[in-house]
Structure 1
């Protein structure tokens, strides 16, 4: 108020009070005029914004990226309070997606039966940790052959496993998740063993003997049968334990809501983003003030906590009952002798009889040697890789484990120059070109569920739709890897996604029979309690078995990442170390450029 009176004539200057009042009045009138001008400009700007709000919506994302990131952080901090409450049953997702045909339902039933996992008796009362499987008290024994403790190349080694609880008492039921490996650090050799559950606390681990020299048996308990029962329940009852979000924006107004493949529709209105071609479902809760067509992105929302009881948490302790090796009763080492002379007419093949769990190959001298007739040629020079891929278009679709192959190739082959498409490194799309050898390399992530960083909704593509857009042909290579982001959902969701991809591959091969299709399987990874509840190797194994069964009989080739990570001596990792990736790439390149048979 003093400032106002001073301004409007209550001040005196050195020339007298009258002059001061006249000067103050003049200043006041000038400020009033300026205020009117500023008010007029502000109103004009507001009217212009209202008239052009749709133009504002289409501004380049980079121009307002700072504002967008701030909004995303603010909305992310409040999103957890609006998470849906799920009924603890497996029916809330049943109505989603297209209704399967009778044939699809029969296939689904067969696949689910094929991965049925034994476990604790359903009628047994809740038990304490002391009554669960303990790897420290458990042990394995190498069984002698007919000739005593003498093993020859081409024979099979069997280890007999007995599981005990923390009190040292033998278990009476199966369901423990065990991994077995026969390896030789001296020879750079290793092969995954096949574990047979006898459902009474006893297991057999079977190994083909594929090299001459020293070999050591290693058997690891990944999870106890009791822990597997918890994982199974979480998969069926809490597919929301990884949740997603989307930002909706119109002009400067924005909202963030929870999204997922399965959302209860009785809590608030839904936005339906089900794919029109495949029928793959995806939903977001409708924003309160914006329409469904203002969605601009997709992102991981986070992981739900406190999903298991304190008693159940004891089943997931690193170094206690997660990936702990078992002791050997007696020796765990053997020496493999050269192959015995076989009677005339008897097969001398070293390759084990193939079934879904039998080894698909083995390491020797640190190089993967697949069974099934594929050559074990190594591509150690970038020039050899470039020559193999000459005149090829390589399309990589899937998750980050196949993006790792893109990164390997652009690093290993200097001529492959990556284009800057101004897309996020983790999600793509990515593209590299070698103009000298006429190579085009592309990567695109699969559609939701995807747990990467933020993806613009316009860049979300389903693999089956992308395959339908390919011309294909002898110079086209398609590589698929889709598994890691499906571990929190019921297996039926994964089966449906693979079925759509399989149908698209059949259409592609019918119109372009020369197209080479390669599928990268799941791999093992490092586990602790938190990772186990979302991405356990048990989930991955179940998906891997479904994957291989669904594409069996189709003209596709498999890079068996599961066994390549299981047979190797390096620690498990979601993104395998470079030496394993190099072996995977050698398998892929052998598929692309098979050696010509000598006449």
Structure 2
């Protein structure tokens, strides 16, 4: 994770056409707090036309493994520090911060990996700090996800172009059908609007009113494409795969260290590692927690079924959580899937095991959704669903809400999570034994167009808000960001099966804590 010092708390200087309903004073103050939390150092203005010459260039930038403090050899339990220096296309040292960097240690032969904490010194240099947790040769990897100049563009896109994903509402009455543009907020227009803001949660949604039909005639929601006007220009140069978008930075000198066994005078890998950032690490392909959670391996259907015995598991979220439902479906051949002809990818879906008396359900979260089609009758906001649960010691709630919010002003995500948090608090108040587990967002595949609409930078900010939003509540976390970044498999919005297996094992370890 990245820790920025001297964070600016100034409000955004540019306001787009999205306006949100005023909040009560306490919630408004909290919203400002979260916006301040994700405020970044001032990043350079991006002129038009754009010249790349003075922008960050990973091919000219380097990282250096610093000698061990006090000298000597590296041992398990030590902290490794790496210094990263950024340069522009002309080879000049950068003088400002704001580049979005991630770092990890990998020992491929051992199936081992851990993320590092990146600190921005705001002068063109960065530090990456790693706990050394296993023996053997360990390689450092530093990746520039986005230049500071690209971050400037990403930051402004969410304010100025929140409509760059094209959503449509389909209206139908008898043989008459119409389609209009819909979104969280619509550009100013003389057209009348239909207001579908949820009365209980306050979550906004609007469509332009059809010419012939009433607002009540809306039957479905869908995504139809993306707008690139105003984006496809010189600024595209800041999002070039293999040039300045998700590029590995090379080492000036060795890129690996040899780690020796822990010595008697050292504190050990679990002490102090929490302050370094990572929640866990891989060893021999298995995720190990650093927060004291005793993780178990559930390697067959019997072990999974025994853990789920008597449980009701409710999964609410996006397709990255549907992956877990599909993993359970494949891993539990004796359980019965009940689908009642519900829409593909939408749900609700259910797995029922009468012999072991457990139920797993999945339902997609409410709008906005980048999905081909969802009937309006199947749209549900998570907070409303949580308010319908009885809860208790046999109830498990799993949440994964992040990927569909990355094109909007951050206020939208903050308010959605405030609403969900209130519902979680109500659930835990009436049924304190309920287990609530939250999956964070993760790093993704690199695609030029995708990075402007689903950038890892957006996801990282969302994760910061998530963590702060639920701080102090009795919820458990699955650190998908760290679990994808620490693995040596390619990054993907939908992580590959070995990572999913580890994530589900963490979930099951929360459900069935080791005595």
**Do the structures match in fold with TM over 0.5?**
yes
Q: Could you tell me how far 1:329 is from its partner in structure 2?
A: 0.6
Q: Could you tell me how far 1:288 is from its partner in structure 2?
A: 0.4
Deviations 1:82-114 (A, max 9, x none): xxxxxx9535322x34x3121112211221111
Structure 1 counterpart of 2:370: 451
* Alignment partner of 1:414 is 2:333: yes
8 Å CA contact retained: 1:119, 1:226: no
Q: 1:258 to 1:127 in 2, by over 3 A?
A: closer
Structure 2 counterpart of 1:430: 349
8 Å CA contact retained: 1:258, 1:301: no
- Between the aligned partners of 2:216 and 2:367, the Cα distance in structure 1 is 18
Matches within 5 A, 1:81-480: 90=15, 92-94=17-19, 96-97=20-21, 99-121=22-44, 128-148=51-71, 150-308=73-231, 310-342=233-265, 347-348=267-268, 350-355=270-275, 358-480=277-399
Q: 1:140 to 1:89 in 2, by over 3 A?
A: closer
Q: 1:172 to 1:149 in 2, by over 3 A?
A: farther
- Between the aligned partners of 1:442 and 1:339, the Cα distance in structure 2 is 45
**Larger CA deviation: 371-380 vs 290-299:** 371-380
- Between the aligned partners of 1:384 and 1:453, the Cα distance in structure 2 is 36
Question: Which of 479, 482, 506 is the equivalent residue of 1:563?
Answer: 482
8 Å CA contact retained: 1:158, 1:205: yes
- Between the aligned partners of 1:113 and 1:122, the Cα distance in structure 2 is 20
Q: Could you tell me how far 1:122 is from its partner in structure 2?
A: 5.0
Structure 2 counterpart of 1:44: none
Q: Could you tell me how far 1:340 is from its partner in structure 2?
A: 2.5
User: Which consecutive unaligned segments of at least 5 residues does structure 1 have?
Assistant: 1-87
Structure 2 counterpart of 1:509: 428
8 Å CA contact retained: 2:383, 2:420: yes
1:405 counterpart SS class: helix
- Between the aligned partners of 1:121 and 1:533, the Cα distance in structure 2 is 18
- Between the aligned partners of 1:109 and 1:246, the Cα distance in structure 2 is 32
Structure 1 counterpart of 2:508: 589
Deviations 1:169-200 (A, max 9, x none): 11111111111001101211100011001111
1:167 counterpart SS class: coil
1:579 counterpart SS class: helix
- Between the aligned partners of 1:438 and 1:407, the Cα distance in structure 2 is 19
- Between the aligned partners of 2:363 and 2:480, the Cα distance in structure 1 is 20
- Between the aligned partners of 1:274 and 1:136, the Cα distance in structure 2 is 48
- Between the aligned partners of 1:439 and 1:541, the Cα distance in structure 2 is 35
2:199 counterpart SS class: coil
Deviations 1:365-410 (A, max 9, x none): 1100112221121111110001000111110001000010000001
Q: Could you tell me how far 1:124 is from its partner in structure 2?
A: 8.5
8 Å CA contact retained: 1:415, 1:436: no
Matches within 5 A, 1:21-40: none
- Between the aligned partners of 1:208 and 1:521, the Cα distance in structure 2 is 22
- Between the aligned partners of 1:506 and 1:149, the Cα distance in structure 2 is 51
Structure 2 counterpart of 1:59: none
- Between the aligned partners of 1:125 and 1:302, the Cα distance in structure 2 is 26
Deviations 1:507-544 (A, max 9, x none): 00111111110001001100121001100100101101
Structure 2 counterpart of 1:73: none
2:109 counterpart SS class: coil
TM-score, length-scaled by structure 1: 0.82
- CA RMSD, 1 decimal: 1.7
Matches within 5 A, 1:522-561: 522-561=441-480
- Between the aligned partners of 1:125 and 1:283, the Cα distance in structure 2 is 33
**Larger CA deviation: 551-560 vs 357-366:** 357-366
8 Å CA contact retained: 1:480, 1:518: yes
8 Å CA contact retained: 1:144, 1:150: no
- Between the aligned partners of 2:264 and 2:358, the Cα distance in structure 1 is 49
2:418 counterpart SS class: helix
- Between the aligned partners of 1:114 and 1:168, the Cα distance in structure 2 is 33
2:244 counterpart SS class: coil
1:519 counterpart SS class: strand
Q: Could you tell me how far 1:452 is from its partner in structure 2?
A: 1.4
- Between the aligned partners of 2:45 and 2:143, the Cα distance in structure 1 is 26
User: Which consecutive unaligned segments of at least 5 residues does structure 2 have?
Assistant: 1-12
- Between the aligned partners of 1:515 and 1:273, the Cα distance in structure 2 is 31
TM-score, length-scaled by structure 2: 0.95
Q: Which has the larger radius of gyration?
A: 1
| Greater helix share, structure number | 1
Q: Could you tell me how far 1:349 is from its partner in structure 2?
A: 5.4
Structure 1 counterpart of 2:7: none
8 Å CA contact retained: 2:63, 2:83: yes
Deviations 1:404-427 (A, max 9, x none): 000000101112221131112211
Q: Could you tell me how far 1:469 is from its partner in structure 2?
A: 0.2
8 Å CA contact retained: 1:352, 1:358: no
